[in-house]
Amino acid sequence: MTAPSDAEAAPALRLALEGYLAHLAVERGLSRNTLAAYRRDLERYLAFLAARGRAEPGDVVERDVEDFLTAVRTGQDGRAALSAASAARAVVAVRGWHRFWVRDGVTPTDAAHAVRPPAQPRRLPKAIPVEQVTALIEAAGLGDGPVPLRDRALLELLYATGARISEAVGVDVDDVDRTPGHGYARLFGKGGKERVVPLGSFALEALEAYLVRARPALASAGRGTPAVFLNTRGARLSRQSAWAVLRTAAGRAGLGDAEHLSPHTLRHSFATHLLAGGADVRVVQELLGHASVTTTQVYTLVTPDSLREVYQLSHPRARR
């Protein structure tokens, strides 16, 4: 077992880490949250290398990377053990750093090239039935004043576009076209990638009601932010507040698993319902803003129950 060490990281490795993080920020334009995750994982790797006495990038060998993966999965480096998903993220960060060393001429070979992240089980995204989505949205709009109109418009937008919660709260007034039959929302996803997603009639109606009848009252308390969704102080609604909107609506709607619902549930439901309705997976990929269709294809997986149902209905000798 590798004991936690108080040894300081070697100056050369510390300098190499700061240079790589600067590259990710400036050249690749990674978000603040993504950079924070990279720093967390690579700081742990740096401490692991310090405990092994590695002083220069060229001192690191493949066995170090392999043992680091074992350490983060088991906690053998004296820190909390990580799940397969979190360990995979850490390995991806380490592999990226080693590739950067090679490209920058720091090391002649990539010590992490052969080390693969741990395999993760493919889980079906958690979606809820259309009836529950409807109940959720209607519950969000209960009550008087501007807040219920805002909350309903927010959930309608999330379900109509499949937006991530950060994308939804990031929408500005000029990003929404409310033309009946041709309305759309402009969303800015990971890395600032822009996509335009159509808005259906329900979402357009809810947004129109909110923007005309409710947003001006909320905006009067603030300083003129362009955000569509505002809090009661007139500032842009935060992701945490948007989460609270959904949880409150789920409780009102009487959804039994309300504590497990998240804004991402509506994103999953958006994709699942589109595919169930006959949408092409590549169209759904574009709407979700996935870089690869492989990410979207997880929504095409079927559950054992649905597989059994189709088999029993379709096979001529499935039942008497």
pLDDT digits (tens, 9 = 90+) for 41-56: 999 999 999 999 999 9
Q: What is the mean pLDDT of the chain?
A: 89
Residue 214's domain is classified under what CATH number?
Answer: 1.10.443.10
CATH of the domain at 64: 1.10.150
What's the number of domains the chain is made of?
2
Write down the catalytic residue from 190, 195, 247, 252: 190
**Residue in the block written with tokens 């039959």:** 181
User: What is the reported pLDDT for 255?
Assistant: 86
pLDDT higher for 31 or 183?
183
Q: Are residues 137 and 285 in the same domain?
A: yes
The verdict on whether 264 is a catalytic residue reads: yes
Residues 83 and 212 in one domain: no
CA 70 to the chain's CA centroid: 26
Closest CA relative to residue 248, chosen from 153, 141, 173, 110 = 141
Residue 257's pLDDT band, with cuts at 50, 70 and 90, is: low
- Catalytic one of 89, 98, 267, 273: 267
Place of tokens 């937006």: 163
Residue 310 forms part of a structural domain: no
Q: How far apart are CA 154 and CA 168, in angstroms?
A: 8
Residue 23 annotated among the catalytic residues of the structure = no
Q: Per residue in 221-230, pLDDT tens? A: 999 999 999 9
Q: Judging by beta carbons within 10 Å of its beta carbon (0-12, 13-18, 19+), is residue 171 exposed, middle or buried? A: buried
Residue 3 lies in a domain: no
Whether 250 has a pLDDT exceeding 70, the answer reads: yes
Q: Identify whether 312 is part of a domain.
A: no
- Which residue is associated with the tokens 């698993």? 257
Q: Please give the Cα distance from 186 to 226 (Å, whole number).
A: 14
* Euclidean distance between CA atoms 139 and 131, whole angstroms: 12
> In terms of domains, do 147 and 240 share one?
yes
Structure confidence by residue, pLDDT tens digits, 225-247: 999 999 999 999 999 999 999 99
Residue with tokens 């807040």: 147
Top pLDDT among 174 and 256 is at 174
Same domain, residue pair 226 and 190: yes
Please give the structure tokens belonging to residue 63: 């066995």
For residue 186, the model assigns a pLDDT of 95
How far, in Å, CA of 156 to CA of 205, rounded?
Answer: 9
Residue 245 near residue 187 (C-beta atoms within 8 A): no
Catalytic residue of the set 52, 95, 164, 273? 164
Q: CB–CB of 135/257 below 8 Å?
A: no
pLDDT at 95 over 60: yes
Considering 14, 99, 178, 264, which one is annotated as catalytic?
Answer: 264
The answer on 301 and 159 residing in a single domain is: yes
Same domain, 37 and 151: no
Domain of residue 211 covers 130-305
Question: At 77, is the secondary structure helix, strand, or coil?
Answer: coil
Is 150 among the residues known to form the active site? Answer: no
| 251 assigned to some structural domain | yes
Residue 112 belongs to a domain: no
- Whether 28 has a pLDDT exceeding 90, the answer reads no
Asked whether residue 71 falls in the same domain as residue 211, the answer is no
Name the band, by pLDDT with cuts 50, 70 and 90, for residue 1. very low
Q: Quickly state the pLDDT bin for 2 (edges 50, 70, 90).
A: very low
* Residue 169 shares a structural domain with residue 218: yes
- Burial class of residue 6 in the structure, from the number of CB atoms within 10 Å of its CB (0-12 exposed, 13-18 middle, 19+ buried): exposed
Segment 253-273 mean pLDDT:
83
Q: Considering the domain boundaries, does residue 124 fall inside one?
A: no
Lowest mean pLDDT: which of 206-210, 230-234, 300-304?
300-304
- Whether residues 185 and 87 share a domain: the answer is no
Judge whether 195 counts as a catalytic residue.
no
- Residue 148 shares a structural domain with residue 287: yes
Taking residues 283-307, what's their average pLDDT? 78
Q: What's the pLDDT tens digit per position in 80-90? A: 999 888 999 99
CB atoms within 10 A of CB 298: 14
Q: Are residues 218 and 144 in the same domain?
A: yes
- Is 116 a domain residue? no
**What pLDDT, on the 0 to 100 scale, is given for residue 5?**
46
303 pLDDT exceeds 90?
A: no
Structural domain includes residue 109: no
297 and 151 in one domain?
A: yes
Tokens of 200: 């259906």
Q: Kind of pairing, strands 184-188 and 176-177?
A: antiparallel
C-alpha 181/C-alpha 198 separation (Å) is 9
Residue 299 annotated in active site = yes
Q: Assign 297 a pLDDT band (cuts: 50, 70, 90).
A: confident
Q: Which amino acid is at 216?
A: P
d(CA 84, CA 134): 35
Q: Calculate mean pLDDT across residues 302-316.
A: 67
